[in-house]
Structures are given as C-alpha cells and as structure tokens.
Amino acid sequence: MVDLRNLTLPEMTEFVKSLGEPAFRAKQVFGWIYKGITDFRGMKNLPEVFRLKLSEVSYIGRLEALDEQVSKSDGTRKFLFGLSDGNAVESVFMKYKYGNSICLSSQAGCRMGCRFCASTRAGLVRNLTAGEIISQLLEAEALAGEKINHIVVMGTGEPFDNYENLARFTRIATDSAGRGMSMRNITVSTCGIVPAIERFGEDFPQVNLAVSLHGATDEVRGSMMPVNERWPVAELIAACRSYTEKTRRRITFEYTLVNGVNDSDRDAEKLCRLLRGMLCHVNLIPLNRVDGTGFDTVSRKRAAEFKEILEKSGIPATVRRELGADIDGACGQLRLNNIKKSKANN
C-alpha cells in the first residue's frame, strides 16, 4: 500500500499512470489531498472505478492526535501525534501577527545529543517519511480549524540527518498543484551538518536556513553540542559564509542562552567577531529548562543586554518571544513525558 501523502506530484503521476489512468488524474488527486480531503469519496471529480482502484492500492496516511494542549494566553497549540507504528512526534501551532506558523518534527527522536535538549534524550528511533512530516501540518490545520502559512522545521530531530525525506517534503509542500507553500515561508534548522548546508543551498536556495550555533568557540559550543567535534566552529562558519555568498540569503543563527555557559559579555563579543560582515541575524533563545540536564536559563534582562552588545556591533538580533508559556513542556518535552509514561506502564 502506498501512502499518497508521501508522493511528490511527479511520483503521483507515475503512480497513477501505473494504474492505467491518464496523467492529469494525478494532479486532481494531489489537489484534493492538499485541500485536506482524507477520504477517496471526497474526491468528487474522479470516476468511481478509479476511486475504488486507488483505495485498493493506496491510502491517505493520517496521524492520530494523542494529546493537545492549548495556551489560553496566546493560542499556541502543542500536539502529540501518534504514528502508525506506535511512535509519537510533537508539533506546535503558533499564532503570529503575520499569520499562523507550525513547528514540525523531522525524526522520531534524534541522535545529535545536544546536552540541553529534551528531544535527543532517548536517542533516535527513526526518520519520519515526507508524508509523516507534511501530515503534521495537515492534521494541525484540521484540528485548529485554521490555515497555516509558515513552516519551521525545528521540532524533534535533525532535518539534515533525514535529508532525502526533508527534500521530498519540501517539494510536496511547495508544489503549486497542492499547497503551493512559498519556499520563503519555510525555515529549516540544523545543528550544523556542514556538507548538508552546501547541498541545501544548491537544492533549495529559496528556503530559509537556520543554524544552531549556541557558542562562538569550540570550547563553549563543544561543551553542549557533540556535533561540534565532527564539524568545529571554523568549518561551520566557513560553510555558512559560503552559503550566504552563493544564495544571497540571510542565515539565522540560533543562540540558546545558558546561564554561566555562553551568556557573558565576553561570549557576546566573541560572537560579534565570529559573525562580523556576514549576512545574518541572531535569534537569542533563553534556555527552556529540561530536568536532569543541569543547565539553567537566563533572565530576560541578561538576554536583552546580550542582544544590545550584538546590535552595537551591527549584528541584527532578536530575543525569541516565549509562546505557550502556560502549557506543559517546551521543545520535545511532551514526547519525552509520553515515552516515560509508556515505560512506566509496561
């Protein structure tokens, strides 16, 4: 059985042709799926025999909402979605002035091992299919009853550790026969897989790139992010400079502020020197505390001071606004709590 949400339009065309149907039917099916239709009977312009044939060899992959938390203060919704094999992933729906945005997971778990992060605590279980990634968007829209026009791939997982499916997902989401999402409304965040940064710049120069930096030196970054051993700061920054030169696109650097680790004036000054002259923006994220990591967060005041040092050096910076502060668990904690719960029940 084929999951139709996992096919790009060219793949859907091949599939439909293999069933002995004309190519234009693929566009019709694709169109219905990204209008949110989840039942072949809802595909009204398809002949009944074709709908029957489709239902015998394919299905429209769904995710089951296992948990949903809605913030009373700002409308943020956190979803825990169950996959068909019993795994679960998290997605977060956020309301901004410019529209609705969703944070999608790219893997069940993660193997990057960042020490402050909840998503990597239980390791990598498996890659998500492109269908499972796009389904988070479709299910969240159906549950929220609102359209989503911005995507950030910043949930659980390292998207560049699942490059093929990420690429396929991007092609599906941006195809004008379906959702026609603008490439510029999609942001992919990486912990710094250097070869994939170059590849991504060539494959998807219009999609926004965010890079998790969190430290301006190998000593600081390496103390939190094992990936820094493989691709140290100098190599990462060289790849980023080359990316901005080739694509002419601004990179967003994420910098999670951790008390006493990377939040001093000296840290800010080193960051300024590192990023000088680059087409970039720094997004400062006061750490979300994760139990058992031993890392502590910073005050809003410290974050504001850190931002000011960057701005004085001409480096644009923002402090990430905290959304959904009144609902349980930031960054992967819903899923982690669910894993703990199911272990306790077994």
Binding interface with ligand SAH (CB under 6 A): 114, 116-117, 154, 158, 189-191, 212, 254, 256, 285, 287-288, 290, 331
User: Which of 21, 90, 132, 158 is the catalytic position?
Assistant: 90
CA–CA gap between residue 89 and residue 334 (Å, rounded): 9
In the chain, the amino acid numbered 302 is R
To ligand SAH, the closest distance from the beta carbon of 260 in angstroms equals: 15
- Asked if residue 7 lies in contact with residue 63, where contact means CB atoms within 8 angstroms, the answer is no
Nearer to ligand SAH, 212 or 338 (CB): 212
Q: 261: Cβ–Cβ under 8 A, 6 or more apart, which residues?
A: 215, 220, 223, 224, 295
Query: Given the complex with ligand SAH, which of 33 and 112 has the nearer CB atom?
Result: 112
- How many other CB atoms are found less than 10 A from the CB of residue 344? 7
Least distance (Å) between residue 44 CB and ligand SAH: 39
Least separation in angstroms between CB 14 and ligand SAH: 32
Active site residue 254: no
CB-CB contact of 254 with 247 (8 Å)? no
Q: CB neighbours (10 Å) of residue 259?
A: 14
Residue found by looking up tokens 């909840």 in the block: 118
Cβ closer to ligand SAH: 9 or 290? 290
DSSP E strands in the chain: the ranges are: 2-3, 58-59, 64-70, 77-82, 88-96, 99-103, 107-109, 124-127, 150-153, 186-190, 208-212, 251-257, 280-286, 317-319
How is residue 213 written in tokens? 């930096």
CB 267 within 8 A of CB 225: no
- Minimum CB separation of residue 31 from ligand SAH in Å reads 31
Question: Quick one: 32 or 295, whose CB is closer to ligand SAH?
Answer: 295
- Which listed residue (103, 117, 272, 331) is catalytic? 331
Q: How many CA atoms lie within 13 A of 221 on its CB side?
A: 26
Q: How far is the CB of 36 from ligand SAH (least distance, A)?
A: 26
Looking at the Cβ atoms of 25 and 150, the one nearer to ligand SAH is 150
* Comparison of 5 and 214: residue with beta carbon closer to ligand SAH: 214
Active site residue 331: yes
- Contact call for residues 128 and 89 (beta carbons, < 8 A): yes
In which region does residue 214 sit, left (phi positive, over 0), alpha (psi from -120 to 50) or beta (all else)? left
List active site positions.
Answer: 90, 331
